[in-house]
Amino acid sequence: MKIIRRILLLLIALTLVFVTFWFGFMQKSTEIVEEERKVPVEVEVVSTGSIEETTELTGWIKAKQIVDIASKVPGVVESLHVISDTGGLIPVEEGVTVKKGQQIAVIDHDVYLAQLAAAQASVKAREVELADANREKQRIVALYKGGSVTEQSKDKAVTAAELAAAGLSLARANLELAQVNLRESTIISPIDGIVTAKHIDKGNLIRSGDRIVTVADMNTVKVVVAAAERYGAEIAVGMPAKISVDTFAGRQFDAKVYSIHPALDAQTHTIQVEIRLNNDELLLKPGMFARVTLITKRKDNVVIIPRDVVLGGKIDKHYVYVVEEASASKIAHKRFVEIGIKQADRYEITDGLKAGETLVVNGMNYLIEGIEVEVVRIEDIK
Protein backbone atom coordinates (compact mmCIF):
# COMPACT_ATOMS: atom_id res chain seq x y z
CA MET A 1 0.00 0.00 0.00
CA LYS A 2 2.78 2.35 0.89
CA ILE A 3 4.53 1.48 -2.33
CA ILE A 4 1.42 2.28 -4.40
CA ARG A 5 1.02 5.59 -2.58
CA ARG A 6 4.62 6.50 -3.30
CA ILE A 7 4.19 5.63 -6.97
CA LEU A 8 1.07 7.82 -7.19
CA LEU A 9 2.83 10.75 -5.53
CA LEU A 10 5.74 10.35 -7.93
CA LEU A 11 3.38 10.33 -10.92
CA ILE A 12 1.62 13.45 -9.64
CA ALA A 13 4.94 15.22 -9.16
CA LEU A 14 6.09 14.26 -12.65
CA THR A 15 2.77 15.47 -14.07
CA LEU A 16 3.13 18.81 -12.30
CA VAL A 17 6.68 19.21 -13.61
CA PHE A 18 5.56 18.38 -17.16
CA VAL A 19 2.60 20.76 -17.05
CA THR A 20 4.80 23.56 -15.70
CA PHE A 21 7.39 22.95 -18.42
CA TRP A 22 4.71 22.78 -21.13
CA PHE A 23 3.08 26.07 -20.18
CA GLY A 24 6.49 27.79 -20.01
CA PHE A 25 7.43 26.48 -23.41
CA MET A 26 4.12 27.52 -25.00
CA GLN A 27 4.36 31.01 -23.51
CA LYS A 28 7.87 31.44 -24.86
CA SER A 29 6.79 30.16 -28.29
CA THR A 30 3.89 32.62 -28.31
CA GLU A 31 6.25 35.46 -27.50
CA ILE A 32 8.56 34.37 -30.36
CA VAL A 33 5.63 34.15 -32.76
CA GLU A 34 4.42 37.57 -31.66
CA GLU A 35 7.94 38.91 -32.13
CA GLU A 36 8.23 37.34 -35.57
CA ARG A 37 4.93 38.87 -36.66
CA LYS A 38 6.41 42.38 -36.59
CA VAL A 39 7.20 43.41 -40.21
CA PRO A 40 10.45 45.32 -40.66
CA VAL A 41 9.98 48.54 -42.66
CA GLU A 42 11.89 51.66 -43.62
CA VAL A 43 10.19 55.00 -43.27
CA GLU A 44 10.62 58.65 -44.15
CA VAL A 45 9.08 61.79 -42.74
CA VAL A 46 6.75 63.36 -45.31
CA SER A 47 7.84 66.87 -46.36
CA THR A 48 6.87 69.52 -48.87
CA GLY A 49 8.70 70.87 -51.90
CA SER A 50 8.40 71.99 -55.51
CA ILE A 51 7.34 69.80 -58.41
CA GLU A 52 6.90 70.37 -62.13
CA GLU A 53 4.83 68.79 -64.88
CA THR A 54 6.79 68.57 -68.10
CA THR A 55 6.40 67.72 -71.77
CA GLU A 56 9.32 66.20 -73.68
CA LEU A 57 9.89 67.29 -77.30
CA THR A 58 12.78 67.18 -79.77
CA GLY A 59 14.17 69.49 -82.42
CA TRP A 60 17.35 70.96 -83.90
CA ILE A 61 19.44 73.90 -82.73
CA LYS A 62 19.27 76.82 -85.16
CA ALA A 63 20.89 80.25 -85.19
CA LYS A 64 18.60 83.13 -84.32
CA GLN A 65 19.39 84.76 -87.67
CA ILE A 66 21.35 83.61 -90.72
CA VAL A 67 22.28 86.05 -93.48
CA ASP A 68 23.85 85.31 -96.87
CA ILE A 69 25.91 88.43 -97.61
CA ALA A 70 26.07 88.99 -101.37
CA SER A 71 27.63 91.64 -103.59
CA LYS A 72 25.28 94.17 -105.15
CA VAL A 73 27.88 95.18 -107.72
CA PRO A 74 30.05 93.11 -110.10
CA GLY A 75 33.82 93.12 -110.11
CA VAL A 76 36.96 91.56 -108.75
CA VAL A 77 37.24 90.87 -105.02
CA GLU A 78 40.17 93.08 -104.05
CA SER A 79 40.00 92.54 -100.28
CA LEU A 80 38.48 89.86 -98.06
CA HIS A 81 39.26 90.69 -94.45
CA VAL A 82 37.92 92.37 -91.33
CA ILE A 83 39.68 95.05 -89.35
CA SER A 84 40.33 94.13 -85.72
CA ASP A 85 39.90 96.50 -82.78
CA THR A 86 43.64 97.11 -82.86
CA GLY A 87 43.63 97.96 -86.57
CA GLY A 88 45.02 94.65 -87.78
CA LEU A 89 43.66 92.73 -90.74
CA ILE A 90 41.97 89.38 -90.09
CA PRO A 91 41.29 87.19 -93.14
CA VAL A 92 37.66 86.24 -93.50
CA GLU A 93 37.33 82.52 -92.81
CA GLU A 94 34.77 80.24 -91.21
CA GLY A 95 34.61 80.95 -87.48
CA VAL A 96 35.64 84.61 -87.67
CA THR A 97 33.46 86.90 -85.56
CA VAL A 98 32.08 90.00 -87.27
CA LYS A 99 30.11 92.98 -86.01
CA LYS A 100 27.23 94.84 -87.56
CA GLY A 101 28.58 97.49 -89.94
CA GLN A 102 32.06 95.96 -90.06
CA GLN A 103 33.82 95.73 -93.45
CA ILE A 104 34.12 92.22 -94.84
CA ALA A 105 35.19 92.69 -98.47
CA VAL A 106 35.98 95.32 -101.13
CA ILE A 107 34.98 94.94 -104.80
CA ASP A 108 36.95 96.76 -107.57
CA HIS A 109 37.30 99.86 -105.45
CA ASP A 110 39.50 101.79 -107.90
CA VAL A 111 37.04 101.23 -110.73
CA TYR A 112 34.13 102.61 -108.73
CA LEU A 113 36.21 105.54 -107.51
CA ALA A 114 36.98 106.40 -111.16
CA GLN A 115 33.30 106.13 -112.05
CA LEU A 116 32.46 108.49 -109.21
CA ALA A 117 35.06 111.01 -110.35
CA ALA A 118 33.71 110.88 -113.91
CA ALA A 119 30.14 111.39 -112.66
CA GLN A 120 31.20 114.37 -110.56
CA ALA A 121 32.97 115.95 -113.57
CA SER A 122 29.90 115.36 -115.72
CA VAL A 123 27.71 117.17 -113.20
CA LYS A 124 30.02 120.16 -113.16
CA ALA A 125 30.05 120.32 -116.95
CA ARG A 126 26.28 120.09 -117.11
CA GLU A 127 25.94 122.84 -114.51
CA VAL A 128 28.10 125.11 -116.71
CA GLU A 129 26.05 124.22 -119.80
CA LEU A 130 22.82 124.98 -117.96
CA ALA A 131 24.13 128.31 -116.71
CA ASP A 132 25.16 129.30 -120.28
CA ALA A 133 21.84 128.11 -121.70
CA ASN A 134 19.87 130.11 -119.13
CA ARG A 135 21.82 133.29 -119.87
CA GLU A 136 21.31 132.81 -123.60
CA LYS A 137 17.61 132.17 -123.07
CA GLN A 138 17.24 135.37 -121.03
CA ARG A 139 19.10 137.39 -123.73
CA ILE A 140 17.02 135.99 -126.59
CA VAL A 141 13.73 136.46 -124.73
CA ALA A 142 14.62 140.09 -124.05
CA LEU A 143 15.46 140.65 -127.73
CA TYR A 144 12.25 138.93 -128.74
CA LYS A 145 10.24 141.29 -126.54
CA GLY A 146 12.04 144.21 -128.23
CA GLY A 147 11.22 142.84 -131.65
CA SER A 148 14.83 142.20 -132.59
CA VAL A 149 14.59 138.36 -133.02
CA THR A 150 11.99 136.01 -134.28
CA GLU A 151 9.75 133.75 -132.17
CA GLN A 152 11.61 130.76 -133.63
CA SER A 153 14.88 132.01 -132.19
CA LYS A 154 13.23 132.51 -128.80
CA ASP A 155 11.78 128.97 -128.81
CA LYS A 156 15.13 127.56 -129.77
CA ALA A 157 16.85 129.28 -126.83
CA VAL A 158 14.16 128.09 -124.39
CA THR A 159 14.47 124.49 -125.65
CA ALA A 160 18.26 124.61 -125.33
CA ALA A 161 17.92 125.70 -121.70
CA GLU A 162 15.43 122.92 -120.98
CA LEU A 163 17.73 120.34 -122.57
CA ALA A 164 20.64 121.63 -120.48
CA ALA A 165 18.50 121.27 -117.31
CA ALA A 166 17.57 117.70 -118.29
CA GLY A 167 21.22 116.92 -118.96
CA LEU A 168 22.13 118.18 -115.49
CA SER A 169 19.42 116.00 -113.89
CA LEU A 170 20.75 112.94 -115.72
CA ALA A 171 24.32 113.76 -114.68
CA ARG A 172 23.23 114.09 -111.06
CA ALA A 173 21.40 110.74 -111.26
CA ASN A 174 24.54 109.14 -112.65
CA LEU A 175 26.53 110.71 -109.82
CA GLU A 176 24.12 109.27 -107.25
CA LEU A 177 24.40 105.83 -108.91
CA ALA A 178 28.19 106.08 -108.86
CA GLN A 179 28.07 106.96 -105.16
CA VAL A 180 25.80 103.98 -104.47
CA ASN A 181 28.05 101.63 -106.45
CA LEU A 182 31.13 102.88 -104.61
CA ARG A 183 29.37 102.44 -101.30
CA GLU A 184 28.13 98.95 -102.25
CA SER A 185 31.60 97.95 -103.42
CA THR A 186 32.54 97.91 -99.73
CA ILE A 187 30.72 94.89 -98.29
CA ILE A 188 29.70 95.20 -94.64
CA SER A 189 28.01 92.81 -92.25
CA PRO A 190 24.36 93.64 -91.54
CA ILE A 191 24.39 91.72 -88.23
CA ASP A 192 26.62 90.66 -85.37
CA GLY A 193 27.60 87.05 -85.84
CA ILE A 194 30.07 84.40 -86.90
CA VAL A 195 31.10 83.52 -90.44
CA THR A 196 29.74 80.01 -90.99
CA ALA A 197 30.59 79.74 -94.70
CA LYS A 198 32.89 81.50 -97.17
CA HIS A 199 31.73 81.26 -100.79
CA ILE A 200 34.51 83.12 -102.69
CA ASP A 201 38.20 83.93 -102.38
CA LYS A 202 40.18 87.11 -102.83
CA GLY A 203 40.77 87.79 -106.54
CA ASN A 204 37.59 86.09 -107.74
CA LEU A 205 35.45 87.86 -110.32
CA ILE A 206 31.88 87.97 -109.10
CA ARG A 207 28.58 89.13 -110.48
CA SER A 208 25.90 91.18 -108.83
CA GLY A 209 24.02 88.89 -106.42
CA ASP A 210 26.84 86.37 -105.91
CA ARG A 211 27.24 85.27 -102.27
CA ILE A 212 30.42 86.18 -100.45
CA VAL A 213 29.94 84.78 -96.93
CA THR A 214 27.20 83.46 -94.66
CA VAL A 215 26.98 85.01 -91.20
CA ALA A 216 24.94 83.56 -88.34
CA ASP A 217 23.90 85.28 -85.11
CA MET A 218 24.54 82.54 -82.54
CA ASN A 219 24.53 84.60 -79.35
CA THR A 220 20.90 83.57 -79.27
CA VAL A 221 19.82 80.21 -80.66
CA LYS A 222 16.43 78.66 -81.17
CA VAL A 223 14.78 75.29 -81.39
CA VAL A 224 11.56 74.81 -83.34
CA VAL A 225 9.56 71.84 -82.08
CA ALA A 226 6.27 70.26 -83.10
CA ALA A 227 3.95 69.84 -80.12
CA ALA A 228 0.91 67.57 -80.19
CA GLU A 229 -2.44 69.29 -80.51
CA ARG A 230 -3.49 68.26 -76.98
CA TYR A 231 -0.78 70.51 -75.53
CA GLY A 232 -2.14 73.58 -77.30
CA ALA A 233 -3.93 74.92 -74.22
CA GLU A 234 -0.94 74.31 -71.93
CA ILE A 235 1.88 75.95 -73.90
CA ALA A 236 2.19 79.72 -73.64
CA VAL A 237 4.70 82.38 -74.69
CA GLY A 238 7.22 82.94 -71.91
CA MET A 239 6.83 79.43 -70.51
CA PRO A 240 10.14 78.13 -69.10
CA ALA A 241 11.91 75.25 -70.82
CA LYS A 242 15.06 73.17 -70.46
CA ILE A 243 17.27 72.12 -73.39
CA SER A 244 19.83 69.34 -73.41
CA VAL A 245 22.19 68.14 -76.15
CA ASP A 246 24.34 65.04 -76.45
CA THR A 247 27.56 67.08 -76.59
CA PHE A 248 27.00 68.30 -73.02
CA ALA A 249 25.42 65.25 -71.42
CA GLY A 250 24.01 65.93 -67.98
CA ARG A 251 23.77 69.69 -68.49
CA GLN A 252 20.54 71.55 -69.08
CA PHE A 253 20.25 75.04 -70.60
CA ASP A 254 17.51 77.44 -69.49
CA ALA A 255 15.21 78.65 -72.26
CA LYS A 256 11.75 80.10 -72.84
CA VAL A 257 8.95 79.75 -75.35
CA TYR A 258 9.41 82.65 -77.79
CA SER A 259 6.48 82.15 -80.16
CA ILE A 260 3.67 79.75 -81.04
CA HIS A 261 2.52 79.35 -84.62
CA PRO A 262 -1.11 80.45 -84.90
CA ALA A 263 -2.19 77.48 -87.05
CA LEU A 264 -1.70 73.72 -86.82
CA ASP A 265 0.23 71.80 -89.43
CA ALA A 266 -2.38 70.45 -91.84
CA GLN A 267 -0.69 67.05 -92.24
CA THR A 268 0.63 66.28 -88.74
CA HIS A 269 -1.89 68.32 -86.69
CA THR A 270 0.95 69.62 -84.54
CA ILE A 271 1.75 73.11 -83.30
CA GLN A 272 5.05 74.75 -84.22
CA VAL A 273 6.65 76.17 -81.07
CA GLU A 274 9.84 78.25 -81.13
CA ILE A 275 12.10 78.06 -78.09
CA ARG A 276 14.92 80.59 -77.65
CA LEU A 277 17.86 80.74 -75.27
CA ASN A 278 21.01 82.77 -74.71
CA ASN A 279 24.18 81.22 -76.09
CA ASP A 280 26.79 83.68 -74.86
CA GLU A 281 29.36 80.92 -74.43
CA LEU A 282 28.67 79.73 -78.01
CA LEU A 283 28.47 76.15 -76.77
CA LEU A 284 25.37 75.32 -78.79
CA LYS A 285 25.93 74.99 -82.54
CA PRO A 286 23.36 75.05 -85.34
CA GLY A 287 22.50 71.52 -86.35
CA MET A 288 22.79 69.97 -82.88
CA PHE A 289 19.98 67.58 -81.95
CA ALA A 290 18.15 69.02 -78.94
CA ARG A 291 15.80 67.57 -76.34
CA VAL A 292 13.34 70.15 -75.08
CA THR A 293 11.56 69.87 -71.75
CA LEU A 294 8.63 72.27 -71.48
CA ILE A 295 7.56 73.02 -67.92
CA THR A 296 3.77 73.16 -68.35
CA LYS A 297 2.92 73.27 -64.62
CA ARG A 298 4.77 74.03 -61.40
CA LYS A 299 3.67 73.89 -57.77
CA ASP A 300 5.61 74.96 -54.69
CA ASN A 301 5.22 73.95 -51.04
CA VAL A 302 3.18 70.83 -51.77
CA VAL A 303 3.40 67.28 -50.37
CA ILE A 304 5.78 65.19 -52.49
CA ILE A 305 6.58 61.49 -52.07
CA PRO A 306 8.53 58.87 -54.05
CA ARG A 307 6.54 57.27 -56.85
CA ASP A 308 7.40 53.67 -55.96
CA VAL A 309 5.79 53.86 -52.49
CA VAL A 310 2.34 54.36 -54.03
CA LEU A 311 0.34 51.13 -54.35
CA GLY A 312 -2.96 50.30 -56.04
CA GLY A 313 -4.44 52.42 -58.77
CA LYS A 314 -5.49 49.67 -61.18
CA ILE A 315 -8.63 48.34 -59.51
CA ASP A 316 -8.89 50.34 -56.30
CA LYS A 317 -7.65 53.81 -55.43
CA HIS A 318 -4.01 54.67 -54.90
CA TYR A 319 -2.82 54.15 -51.35
CA VAL A 320 0.26 54.28 -49.14
CA TYR A 321 1.13 53.07 -45.67
CA VAL A 322 1.94 55.31 -42.75
CA VAL A 323 3.23 54.32 -39.31
CA GLU A 324 1.55 55.60 -36.16
CA GLU A 325 2.44 55.08 -32.51
CA ALA A 326 0.03 52.97 -30.46
CA SER A 327 1.13 52.58 -26.82
CA ALA A 328 4.58 51.01 -27.13
CA SER A 329 3.92 49.63 -30.60
CA LYS A 330 4.22 50.99 -34.11
CA ILE A 331 1.19 50.23 -36.30
CA ALA A 332 0.91 50.47 -40.09
CA HIS A 333 -2.22 52.11 -41.49
CA LYS A 334 -3.44 52.15 -45.07
CA ARG A 335 -4.08 55.63 -46.48
CA PHE A 336 -5.89 56.33 -49.73
CA VAL A 337 -4.34 59.30 -51.51
CA GLU A 338 -5.07 61.60 -54.44
CA ILE A 339 -2.23 62.20 -56.90
CA GLY A 340 -1.57 65.54 -58.58
CA ILE A 341 1.50 66.31 -60.69
CA LYS A 342 3.70 63.37 -61.68
CA GLN A 343 7.37 64.12 -62.27
CA ALA A 344 9.72 61.25 -63.06
CA ASP A 345 10.08 59.33 -59.77
CA ARG A 346 8.08 61.80 -57.64
CA TYR A 347 4.36 62.35 -57.09
CA GLU A 348 2.45 65.28 -55.68
CA ILE A 349 -0.16 64.20 -53.12
CA THR A 350 -3.17 66.50 -53.06
CA ASP A 351 -5.20 64.63 -50.44
CA GLY A 352 -4.78 61.83 -47.90
CA LEU A 353 -1.30 62.66 -46.59
CA LYS A 354 0.19 65.56 -44.67
CA ALA A 355 3.69 66.83 -44.07
CA GLY A 356 5.24 65.45 -40.92
CA GLU A 357 3.61 62.04 -41.10
CA THR A 358 5.75 58.89 -41.15
CA LEU A 359 5.58 57.19 -44.55
CA VAL A 360 6.62 53.60 -45.25
CA VAL A 361 9.09 53.64 -48.15
CA ASN A 362 10.35 50.06 -48.02
CA GLY A 363 8.48 46.90 -47.01
CA MET A 364 5.01 48.27 -47.79
CA ASN A 365 4.20 45.29 -50.04
CA TYR A 366 4.13 43.01 -46.97
CA LEU A 367 1.77 45.17 -44.94
CA ILE A 368 -1.91 44.99 -44.13
CA GLU A 369 -4.06 47.44 -42.23
CA GLY A 370 -3.25 47.53 -38.52
CA ILE A 371 -0.22 45.24 -38.56
CA GLU A 372 2.57 45.94 -36.11
CA VAL A 373 5.86 46.96 -37.70
CA GLU A 374 9.46 47.37 -36.71
CA VAL A 375 11.17 50.49 -38.03
CA VAL A 376 14.69 49.59 -39.05
CA ARG A 377 15.81 52.96 -40.45
CA ILE A 378 14.48 56.52 -40.45
CA GLU A 379 15.54 59.21 -42.90
CA ASP A 380 14.04 62.62 -43.31
CA ILE A 381 13.30 63.66 -46.89
CA LYS A 382 15.86 66.25 -47.92
Q: Tell me the Cα Rg of the chain.
A: 46
Quick one: 177 and 267 in the same domain?
A: no
Distance CA 357, CA 367 (A): 17
Tell me, what's the pLDDT at 16? 54
* Residue among 66, 84, 75, 85 nearest 106 (CA): 75
The residue-averaged pLDDT of 287-299 equals 90
Is residue 241 in a domain? Answer: yes
Reply yes or no on whether the pLDDT at 96 is more than 50.
yes
Q: Are residues 225 and 373 in the same domain?
A: yes
Contact 124, 175 (CB under 8 A): no
Confidence of residue 343 (pLDDT cuts 50, 70, 90): confident
Q: What is the mean pLDDT of residues 4-33?
A: 53
Say if residue 308 is in the same domain as residue 179.
no
Residue 2 within a domain: no
Q: Do 271 and 341 have their domain in common?
A: yes
Q: What is the mean pLDDT of the chain?
A: 87
In this prediction, residue 197 has a pLDDT band, given cuts at 50, 70 and 90, of very high
236 shares a domain with 348: yes
Whether 101 is in a domain gets the answer no
CB-CB neighbours of 72 under 10 Å: 14
Q: Clarify whether residues 370 and 303 are in a common domain.
A: yes
Give the amino acid at 69. Answer: I
Q: Are residues 53 and 177 in the same domain?
A: no
Residue type, 56: E
Asked if residue 23 has pLDDT above 80, the reply is no
Do 358 and 241 share a domain, yes or no?
yes
pLDDT at 24 (0 to 100): 54
Domain of 158, CATH number, reads 1.10.287.470
204: in domain: no
Nearest by Cα to 108 from 67, 70, 71 = 71
* CATH number where 320 lies: 2.40.30.170
pLDDT at 12 over 80: no
Beta bridge partners of 103: 188
**pLDDT value at 259 more than 90:** yes
Task: Indicate whether 176 and 221 sit together in one domain.
Answer: no
Average pLDDT over every residue of 204-223: 94
Based on the fold, state whether residues 222 and 289 are members of the same structural domain.
yes
Q: Are residues 230 and 362 in the same domain?
A: yes
pLDDT of 379 > 60? The answer is no
- Specify if 139 maps to a domain: yes
- Indicate the residue among 141, 163, 184 that finishes a domain: 184
Is residue 379 included in any domain, yes or no? yes
Q: Place 229 in a pLDDT band, splitting at 50, 70 and 90.
A: confident
* Structural domain boundaries enclosing 163: 110-184
Mean pLDDT computed over 237-253 = 92
Residue 33 scores a pLDDT above 50: no
User: Residue 211's pLDDT is what?
Assistant: 95
**239 and 366 housed in the same domain:** yes
Q: Give alpha helix (H) positions in 106-250.
A: 109-145, 151-184
Q: Is 370 exposed, middle or buried (0-12, 13-18, 19+ CB in 10 A)?
A: exposed
Please report whether residue 279 resides in a domain: yes
Q: Is the pLDDT of residue 222 over 90?
A: yes
Domain edge (last residue) among 184, 208, 235: 184
Say if CB 360 and CB 323 are below 8 A apart: yes
| pLDDT-derived band at 231, boundaries 50, 70, 90 | confident
Going by pLDDT thresholds of 50, 70 and 90, the confidence category of residue 84 is: confident
Of 34-38, 71-75, 202-206, 233-237, least confident by mean pLDDT is 34-38
- Going by C-alpha positions, the residue among 358, 292, 282 that lies closest to residue 321 is 358
Domain edge (last residue) among 184, 201, 230: 184
pLDDT in tens, 125-155: 999 999 999 999 999 998 988 888 898 988 9
Residue 10 has pLDDT above 70, yes or no: no
Q: Torsions phi, psi of 337, nearest 5?
A: -130, 155
Do the domain assignments include residue 262?
yes
User: What was the pLDDT predicted at 381?
Assistant: 39
Number of domains in the chain: 2
